[in-house]
Amino acid sequence: MALQALIFDMDGTLIDTEELHRQAFNAAFIELGLFWDWGPHLYAELLKVSGGVERLRHYIESLPLDASARAQLIGQVPAIHRTKTGIYRDLIAAGRLPLRPGMVQLIGEARAASLRLAIAATSSSENATALLSATLGTVALPWFEAIVSADMVPQPKPAPDLYQRVLGALHLPPADCVVLEDSANGVRAAKAADLVTIAVPSRWTVEQDLSAADLVVPALDALAAPLAEIQSLHRRRSLKSA
Determine the Cα–Cα distance for residues 9 and 189; give it in Å rounded to an integer: 11
Determine the Cα–Cα distance for residues 54 and 77; give it in Å rounded to an integer: 9
Which one, of 44, 120, 121, 51, lies nearest residue 81 by Cα? 51
> What 8-state DSSP symbol labels residue 31?
H
Number of H helices, E strands in the chain: 9, 6
Active site residues: 9, 11
Using only C-alpha atoms, the chain has a radius of gyration, in whole angstroms, of 18
Determine the Cα–Cα distance for residues 5 and 176; give it in Å rounded to an integer: 7
